[in-house]
A and B are shown apart, each in its own frame.
Chain A
Amino acid sequence: MKKSILSAMVVLLLLGAAAYGAFFVAPPDAKQGVIYRILFLHVASAWTGLTSFFICFIANLLYVVRRQPRWDWLGVSAGETGLVFTTVVLLTGPIWAHPVWGIWWTWDARLTSTFVLWLLYVSYLLLRTLVEEPDRRALLSALFGIFAFIDVPLVFGSIRWWRTQHPQPVVMGAPGSGLDPTMYKVLFFTWFAMLGLMTLLLRQRYRLEAMRGEIEIVQRELEAA
């Protein structure tokens, strides 16, 4: 069996187990009832998205220092993957918010900083379509990617530094905050499964970008010859 199919099946199994945990293992929440079960998908997607943006940031830094195309390829792949996970966060958040808050959206610090983060990485990907010359495109997008990452600590700190409509953090929060131990186990397992999915998507996306990059290198060599 091909390695890629095998890894996709493992990730699918992990995600299935995570969904089972979210629906049947995690205990019900006394205040919110069944709706809180969105937390496992929503929070795990948010953490995975931020992990992906962190990979993008490191790859961008390495590109600026070393100027090797593979760091540019990893940067764009991780940026795009992070954007997918953040899209899920921005879509599942309002579905959760509406029955609990009575509104779909509010411009509080957490929601706004997350939306700005999403816009920044959309811009990062758009910027790449505007510059034709590969080296210039890689450098400009790496610099922009480093700038875009500034919003990540703001997203992390927004619910710790300011009073927000968004709930307080479930990890590394104030004393007394947090979750039931079984909920924590399910949440961390879901994050683990999501990291598996992120690795799968990132690897596939990197392969695509590497192929594109290699074609560009061959084209340049042909033009120079």
Chain B
Amino acid sequence: MKNLDSVFAAYMVGWTVFFVYYISVARRTAALREDIERLKNLLNRGK
């Protein structure tokens, strides 16, 4: 079938963008959670 590779390329590109964004938000959230924990520990030590 002519151009089937272009169709697969478009879908692969699309799903990759969504997946990368999902992972990026998850990683930013995890990093922020770590920062919050560090801050909490710092505050507790200061008391």
User: Is chain B found bound to chain A in the same assembly?
Assistant: yes
Enumerate chain A interface residues (CB-CB to B < 8 A): 19, 33-35, 37-38, 41-42, 45, 84, 87-88, 91-92, 95-96, 98-99, 197, 200-201, 204-205, 207-208, 211-212, 215
Give the docked Cα–Cα distance between A99 and B2 (Å): 10
Q: How large is the interface on B (under 10, 10 to 19, 20 to 34, 35 or more residues)?
A: 20 to 34
B-side contacts of A212, CB under 8 Å: 32
> Considering the complex of A and B, which 4 residue pairs feature the smallest CB-CB distances, nearest first?
A35-B3, A95-B10, A92-B10, A38-B10
Enumerate chain B interface residues (CB-CB to A < 8 A): 1-4, 6-7, 9-11, 13-14, 17-18, 21-22, 25-26, 28-29, 32-33, 35-36, 39
Given A84-B18, A204-B29, A33:B1 Cβ within 8 A = yes
Give the docked Cα–Cα distance between A207 and B30 (Å): 11
B-side contacts of A34, CB under 8 Å: 1-4, 7
Whether the pair B9, A95 counts as a contact (CB closer than 8 A) is yes
